Chain A
Amino acid sequence: MKDVIDKKLREFFCEEVRLRKEPQVEIPAQRYWKGGAAFLVRLGTAAACLGLLWVSSWYRQDHPLDTLVPRQKVQILLDDALQTADHVVKTALFRES
């Protein structure tokens, strides 16, 4: 009887394993590759963002005007335009007189 039970147990476990042969699972190493690629993409994006920030800060240091808000820029341009117009008008009047 002992031998019969031994045989039955072997058959039982073999059958249970056979029933679980599908579906195949992905090799974790492949998942790691995918994970590694995704990590590199994220790292690249972060590096690009940091680079842009660095370039823009360097640019601002050399171009102080660019640190002004747009309203101030427009005001300066208008002042310049008014001064030029004033100068043109005054010169013309001076010549006429």
Chain B
Amino acid sequence: MTLRDEYLNRIHSEFIPPLRTFIDLNFSSIHQDREDTLQDILEKLVARIYSYDNRYALSTWVYAVARNHCLDLLRKQKRQPSFSGLDEGNVLVSSETSPEDILAENQDQTRMRQLMARLPREERQVLFLKYYEDMTFKEIARVMSRPVGTVKYLSFKAKSWIEAQWEDNQ
């Protein structure tokens, strides 16, 4: 098995559900179907696998490609306005989520989802990469093409706001 195949296998086995979540949480205003967006991202990853620099974590590169692809889609969308457009972050519930799943979820999940929907997109991205992917601030900065200081500030701001809201609701 070549190194390229190994990376592709890892992408397929480890990153598909997290990428779905990343798209849903941060780019819900994309009009294109989420699974189509995911397929396009995966095709980009396959086509550009040789551009991956293995000095960095695979996740850093995967999320950077996904993020740039979604931002490109949003830019294209702005040029071609549609009537079905949703405001940023309004919808966080996955189209794949069944009513049974929603009922089974605990209250905390629902509350956190509501809070996430009110956060700016960049702050949501930072939180996802930090708390789901366990990335360092340096890695997050690489994914988002932002200075490390900005990423730290976004993380601090988002977490402080969630903390305050959580305490208020207790």
Interface residues of A, Cβ cutoff 8 Å to B: 1-2, 4-6, 8-29, 31-32
Contacts and interface: CB of A to CB of B under 8 A. Distances in A.
A13 B8 contact: no
A94 to B, nearest CB: 87
Interface residues of B, number: 35
B101 A28 contact: no
A76 to B, nearest CB: 61
A17 B42 contact: no
12 contacts: A1-B167, A8-B108, A8-B166, A9-B112, A9-B159, A13-B128, A13-B132, A16-B113, A19-B101, A25-B42, A27-B8, A28-B39
A16 B46 contact: no
Given A9-B162, A32-B46, A20 B112 contact: no
Contacts, number: 80
Interface stretch (B14-22, B55-63, B71-79, B135-143): B14-22
Interface string B100-126: 010001001100110010000000000
Give chain B's interface secondary structure class.
helix
A14 B131 CA distance: 9
| A8, A18, A20, most chain B CB atoms within 10 A | A20
Contacts of A21: 17
B43 A28 contact: yes
Contacts of A18: 17
B17 A20 contact: yes
A24 B35 CA distance: 10
B21 to A, nearest CB: 5
Nearest to A15: B109
Contacts of B163: 1-2, 5
| A17, A21, A31, A32, most chain B CB atoms within 10 A | A17
Contacts of A13: 21, 127-128, 131-132
